[in-house]
Chains A and B, each alone.
Chain A
Amino acid sequence: MNIRKLVWLEFKQHKSQLISGLLAITLGIAVIVGIRSISVVSEKAVAVNLDNLGANILVLPQASNVDNYYAADIDAPTMPEEYVDRIVSSNLEGVDNLSPKLTRRIKVGTENVVLTGIMPKNEITSKPMWQQSGLLGNDLKASCAPTNAVNQSNGYEDEKLKRKVIDSLGADEYLLGSTIARKLKLADGGSVVILGEKFKVSRVLNETGTVDDDRIFIHLRKAQELLKIPNQVSAIEIMGCCNAISDGLLSKLRNVLPDTRITTIGQIVATQIQTNKMMNKVSLIFLIIIIFVGGISIGNFMWANINERRKEIGMLRMIGFNKATIYRMILAKAFVLGIIGGLIGYILGTAAGVWLGPELAGLPVQPIPSLILISLCISIVVSLLGSILPAYLAGRIDPFKNMQEV
């Protein structure tokens, strides 16, 4: 028998009341953890976008939604594929590479996947018109992107760049995002039936941490045929050079394709950064709220608990527990409460983030173990702060004042 055990036994005794005391702090922590898990991946994605894609331009049909760069082409309205030729023939300075895409959500077996039709580079560049325009053999210039070394050290490699410059792709071949490969249990060389036609895996792409991990890439022609959307595309990605963009490439493109939406990744990323900033602000506000509401509700719970245990505290004082020991016991209990609140909050928040992340941010969210520590710290500190006053008052109550008989 020692103090710790005593605290624990008492704690177990009243565990049914805990919920009310811990509700506020647990929910508060959950919200913070949830927001944080989502915004971390979102921030990472933004960093990846900026690093890897530099000055990418996205041409979308007028009616499309551009909240999320990677998801912008999914289920977007379509526009004629002929737009690609228009861009090429207008001979604009600074257009390094073009990638028309057609994207739809489909089902493969029981899995939801995003099917994207792409035009491999060898076919684009072999078009006579393209050769004239001087695009032939122009390797993608990532010169305006920040250093490749940074990307590599971040482990991103140039997977997203590769996606834009898929050199060749047979009509019955397809590329597979890493998540969907795992879901469908497919590896290089495996085959699968998509919309009634059999395809062979050309390559499983490396994990990117974006929606691309859920995509299946097939040849654009094949996609148009299988989806029955001939000669239409949902987006055209343009690798442009930064300098050219600042020189007005965007407005020149708008002149060429007046009935489209043309945006740069920079603009989209900027909105994403805005959103992240807002999320962080919301987290901060929540932090302040839980410090108050959580602290007060724990303090209130502790005070009720102490009052209920007046008699017990009297007994402990009687057998020789001093006030300091009583304080310690109360704070130890607050500590345990803090641990429980922090852990449950972390679990709930992480679960919510993992579950809602793909919906809210279009990104797969992973649990962030380091947030456990932060959750615990916040929760413990709030719980201790909230319990200081009750503990102090508990030391001051005179158990024998109104109770001659203990």
Chain B
Amino acid sequence: MILKTNNLCKQYQHKDVPVDALNHVSFDVNEGDFVTITGASGSGKTTLLLSLAGLIQASSGEIRIMDFDVVQASDRKLSDFRRKHIGFVMQSFALIPYLTAIENVMLPLAISKGKKEQKYQKALALLKLVDLENRKNHLPSELSAGQQQRVAIARALVNSPTLILADEPTGNLDPSLSTDILNLLKKINKEEKITILMVTHSPLAAEYGNRKINLHNGCIN
């Protein structure tokens, strides 16, 4: 078991009115799984993903990833853990606009030790994997949406994570590009043996996983 949540709750405070975004969510993910999380807009999918990575503080409940206690960890430990073990792929790509493709891919390595050349070669290899080697010096604004998302995937892979958290990675892409990205994720899951949790509201995309979780008003159906 690579990930385990137990009675996870998240309550937002919206103008003093509490909003229950996650309601006693409990589930397990096994190593090598490709889990798809579906649910209507506002059902708490993003909240779940960000809570799992400790980017938002859960109100109560437990989260363990590879026996690491996400809820209790200090900022420093949690950040280190994220950097070493979790890769993110977001709907809006989350690339730094003033960094080139290869610089964006190298970014998570910026705080780790190692030779410049080594970091560069690693990033280059990943750009090759996502078929963007010839665009390495382009800024995000000089790349198409599909290309930007592939850069983001390369970045998610640069620290050889155990887990990839993807929040609607195809949400901003047209169908044929979506298929490319989904196939790429599938390939990464199969070949690199990286566990993936992917949020999507597209039923088609949900078919790429080997397990489905459906959220409804912050509860697992």
Q: Is A185 an interface residue (CB 8 A)?
A: no
Which of B22-30, B87-95, B129-137, B189-197 binds A? B87-95
Expressed in whole angstroms, the Cα–Cα distance for A5 and B111 within the complex equals: 11
Interchain CB contact (< 8 A) of B110 among A3, A315, A401, A405: A3
Interchain CB contact (< 8 A) of B82 among A1, A2, A318: A318
Smallest CB-CB separation from B76: which chain A residue? A322
Question: Are B47 and A404 closer than 8 Å at their CB atoms?
Answer: yes
Interchain CB contact (< 8 A) of A9 among B84, B95, B103: B103
Smallest CB separation, B97 vs chain A (Å): 8
Smallest CB-CB separation from B91: which chain A residue? A405
Question: Are B109 and A405 closer than 8 Å at their CB atoms?
Answer: no
- Interface size on B, as a range, is 35 or more
Expressed in whole angstroms, the Cα–Cα distance for A94 and B101 within the complex equals: 86
Q: How many A-B contacts if CB must be within 8 Å? A: 85
Contact with B along A281-313 (1 / 0, CB 8 A): 000000000000000000000000000000010
Expressed in whole angstroms, the Cα–Cα distance for A1 and B111 within the complex equals: 9
Smallest CB-CB separation from A401: which chain B residue? B56
Q: In the complex where A9-B99, A404-B50 touch, is A319 in contact with B167 (Cβ < 8 A)?
A: no
Provide the residues of chain B in CB contact with A314, threshold 8 Å: 94
Q: Is A161 an interface residue (CB 8 A)?
A: no
Provide the residues of chain B in CB contact with A320, threshold 8 Å: 79-84, 86, 108, 111, 159
Interchain CB contact (< 8 A) of A2 among B47, B50, B99, B110: B110
Question: Are B107 and A1 closer than 8 Å at their CB atoms?
Answer: yes
Expressed in whole angstroms, the Cα–Cα distance for A12 and B139 within the complex equals: 15
Q: From DSSP, what is the main secondary structure of chain A's interface residues?
A: helix
Interchain CB contact (< 8 A) of A405 among B90, B103, B106, B108: B90
Q: Is B180 an interface residue (CB 8 A)?
A: no
Question: Are B56 and A318 closer than 8 Å at their CB atoms?
Answer: no
Expressed in whole angstroms, the Cα–Cα distance for A13 and B50 within the complex equals: 29
Provide the residues of chain B in CB contact with A315, threshold 8 Å: 94-96
- 9 CB-based A-B contacts, threshold 8 Å: A1-B110, A1-B116, A318-B82, A319-B107, A320-B108, A321-B111, A398-B56, A400-B56, A406-B90
User: Which residues of chain B have a CB within 8 Å of any CB of chain A?
Assistant: 46-47, 50, 53, 55-56, 75-76, 78-84, 86, 88, 90-92, 94-99, 103, 106-111, 116, 119-120, 155, 159, 167
User: Which residues of chain A have a CB within 8 Å of any CB of chain B?
Assistant: 1-3, 5-6, 9-10, 12-13, 312, 314-325, 398-401, 404-406
